[in-house]
């Protein structure tokens, strides 16, 4: 039987192929961390016109690319390999990269989540001071933090919620029961960043444990 991660990868590949057929190019926004690595490896083997695909991280830690905590390093090692090595890659940590450089809407956005209720690098610490980042209707923004955030603690660069939702599809990885329970709770608790992703009407959120 095909694994869940294989099915997710196949679904993403199909959306990218459709985007290329319809407009000559496609874009994929991906999550860092370990949850999507098996998906990346399956996806890298898909036989689609990868040279017409642009890949960008939805968030990253502001560290050197060779640092062990670099999400970009994970992308290089697990996604931009096999057939996918011919894809175009945009580095979110490039200081000059900003919203006008992006071709919207994206075709697929793949998001992870943390047990503190964060997605991308939109952490609970930002809810008070940078609340616009959680507003699905706010102007699109790529935000750079001035202080370390998350675990491991690093300065971060992240797309805001409105930019992440500028996509044809938004897939949220829910890899285990603990995260499913958190997700169910976050539907009604505004202290969790996920609350703002789940309670918006712009885009359906495809949860991996229920949609595939």
Q: Give the model confidence (pLDDT) of 164-195 as tens digits.
A: 999 999 999 999 999 999 999 999 999 999 99
According to the model, what pLDDT value does residue 175 have? 94
Mean pLDDT of 58-82: 95
- Looking at the 3D structure of the chain, how many domains does it have? 1
**Who contacts 89 (Cβ-Cβ below 8 Å, separation ≥6)?**
54, 55, 56, 75, 80
Q: Looking at per-residue confidence, does 84 or 129 come out higher?
A: 84
Give the residue numbers spanning the domain of 71.
Answer: 4-211
According to the model, what pLDDT value does residue 211 have? 95
Query: CB–CB of 202/164 below 8 Å?
Result: no
**Who contacts 211 (Cβ-Cβ below 8 Å, separation ≥6)?**
171
According to the model, what pLDDT value does residue 60 have? 96
Using CA atoms in the order 82, 87, 90, 91, what is the torsion angle rounded to 10 degrees? 10
According to the model, what pLDDT value does residue 59 have? 97
Long-range contacts of 62-65 (CB under 8 A, 24+ apart): 62/93, 62/144, 62/154, 62/155, 62/156, 62/157, 63/154, 65/93
Phi, psi angles (nearest 5°) of residue 170: -125, 115
Length of the chain measured in residues: 212
| Poorest-pLDDT segment among 1-5, 99-103, 153-157, 198-202 | 1-5
Q: Give the model confidence (pLDDT) of 88-135 as tens digits.
A: 999 999 988 999 999 999 999 999 999 999 999 999 999 988 999 999
Among residues 182, 50, 186, 55, the alpha carbon closest in space to that of 110 is found at 55
CATH number of the domain enclosing 53: 3.40.50.1360
Mean pLDDT of 52-72: 95
| pLDDT score of 1 more than 80 | no
Phi, psi angles (nearest 5°) of residue 37: -60, -40
Mean pLDDT of 37-46: 98
Mean pLDDT of the chain: 96
DSSP secondary-structure letter at 113? B
Mean pLDDT of 7-21: 98
Separation of alpha carbons 199 and 212, rounded Å = 21
């Amino acid at each position: 039987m095909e694994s869940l991660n294989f099915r997710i990868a196949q679904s993403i590949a199909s959306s990218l192929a459709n985007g290329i057929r319809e407009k000559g190019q496609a874009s994929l926004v991906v999550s860092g961390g370990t949850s999507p690595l098996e998906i990346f490896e399956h996806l890298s083997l898909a036989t689609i016109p990868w040279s017409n695909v642009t890949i960008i991280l939805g968030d990253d830690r502001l560290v050197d690319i060779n640092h062990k905590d670099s999400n970009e390093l994970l992308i290089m090692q697990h996604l931009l390999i096999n057939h996918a090595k011919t894809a175009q890659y945009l580095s979110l940590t490039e200081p000059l990269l900003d919203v006008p450089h992006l071709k919207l809407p994206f075709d697929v956005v793949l998001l992870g989540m943390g047990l503190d209720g964060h997605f991308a690098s939109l952490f609970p610490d930002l809810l008070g001071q940078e609340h616009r980042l959680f507003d699905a209707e706010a102007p699109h923004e790529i935000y750079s933090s001035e202080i370390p955030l998350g675990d491991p603690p690093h300065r971060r660069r992240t797309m805001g919620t409105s930019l992440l939702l500028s996509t044809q599809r938004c897939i949220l990885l829910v890899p285990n029961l603990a995260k499913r329970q958190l997700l169910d709770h976050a539907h009604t608790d505004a202290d969790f960043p996920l609350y703002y992703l789940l309670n918006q009407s712009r885009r359906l959120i495809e949860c991996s444990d229920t949609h595939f």
